[in-house]
């Protein structure tokens, strides 16, 4: 929990306006909050007191982002580039479908995030397109627990899956370009000079 709060607060503070200092609650009815407080302790306590649920609806997360972009008359360059999902819980399947009782899949389920693949966030792509935006934000699922659950398949475009507490992982996303898919993120993570000294024996 401490790492989730710390990373969430760090990313929000590094964001540009109008996203700076804002976080979205992990909930089926997510809310966009401006973190209150003057000191680090006050801001941390504010995040801890926010209401949250056991799962989240990413359709509604994208709706919140789109509403903010439209209300602030943001250009595409000002649109949030990627959403970081920090969690020490299992990731659910979290895309809406026509059957409410099938809204969430068991722990470890896979789901298509963007258009195509029979579902996913194609609806969000359409909404963003209607408002003049050619893309929806990428998603980084950051698993902070010891779990093998994966919410997407390795070739899912526009998504990254990472685990652990390394600051180098965060730097990779802050400095890198767009996300292609989880397999390419893995390749980027091991592209450093230190890995070139290793030899693979098959």
Above pLDDT 70, what percent of the chain?
59
**Would you place residue 110 in the very low, low, confident or very high pLDDT band (cuts 50, 70, 90)?**
very low
For the chain, the straight-line distance linking the first and the last C-alpha, in angstroms and rounded, comes to: 39
**Paired residues of 139 in beta bridges:** 83, 159
**CA 63 and chain centroid, separation:** 14
Residue of 195, 160, 193 whose CA lies nearest to 174 = 160
Residue 28 lies in a domain: yes
**Threshold 0.85, pTM exceeds:** no
| CA 56 to mean position of chain CA atoms | 11
Q: Is residue 191 domain-resident?
A: yes
Residues present in the chain in total: 202
Residue 122 · residue 129 · CB < 8 Å: no
Q: Is the pLDDT of residue 148 over 50?
A: yes
- pLDDT value, residue 136: 86
**CA distance readout (Å), 146 to 26, 128, 164:** 19, 35, 9
Share of the chain above pLDDT 90, in %: 16
Task: Name the more confident of 97 and 92.
Answer: 92
Instruction: Verify cis geometry, omega within 30 degrees of 0, for the bond prior to 123.
Output: no
Q: What is the pLDDT of residue 196?
A: 72
The pLDDT tens digits for 64-87 are 999 999 999 999 989 988 888 887
CB contact at 8 A, 147 and 82: no
CB-based contact 137:62 (threshold 8 Å): yes
Q: Domain range holding 81? A: 2-197
Task: Evaluate whether residue 202 is within a structural domain.
Answer: no
**Is residue 16's pLDDT more than 80?**
yes
Task: Tell me how many domains the chain contains.
Answer: 1
pLDDT band at 104 (very low <50, low <70, confident <90, very high): very low
Q: Is the dihedral of CA 47, 53, 55, 61 positive or negative?
A: negative
The mean per-residue pLDDT over the stretch 48-67 comes to 82
Q: Is a pLDDT exceeding 90 seen at residue 138? A: no
Judge whether residue 123 has pLDDT over 70.
yes
Phi, psi of 21 (to 5 degrees): 75, 15
Domain contains 96: yes
């Amino acid at each position: 929990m401490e790492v989730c709060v710390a990373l969430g607060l760090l990313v929000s503070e590094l964001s540009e306006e109008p996203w700076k200092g804002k976080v979205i609650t992990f909930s089926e009815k997510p809310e966009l909050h401006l973190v209150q407080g003057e000191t680090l302790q006050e801001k941390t306590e504010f995040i801890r007191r926010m209401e949250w649920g056991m799962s989240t609806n990413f359709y509604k997360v994208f709706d919140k982002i789109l509403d903010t972009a439209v209300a602030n008359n943001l250009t595409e360059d000002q649109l949030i580039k990627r959403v970081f999902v920090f969690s020490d819980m299992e990731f659910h399947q979290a895309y809406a479908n026509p059957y409410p009782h099938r809204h969430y899949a068991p722990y470890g389920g896979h789901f298509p995030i963007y258009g195509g693949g029979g579902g996913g966030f194609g609806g969000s792509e359409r909404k963003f397109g209607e408002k003049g935006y050619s893309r929806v934000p990428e998603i980084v699922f950051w698993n902070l627990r010891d779990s093998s659950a994966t919410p997407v398949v390795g070739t899912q475009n526009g998504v990254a899956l990472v685990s652990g507490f390394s600051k180098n992982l965060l730097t990779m996303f802050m400095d890198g370009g767009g996300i292609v898919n989880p397999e390419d993120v893995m390749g980027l993570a091991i592209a450093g000079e230190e890995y070139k000294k290793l030899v693979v024996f098959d």
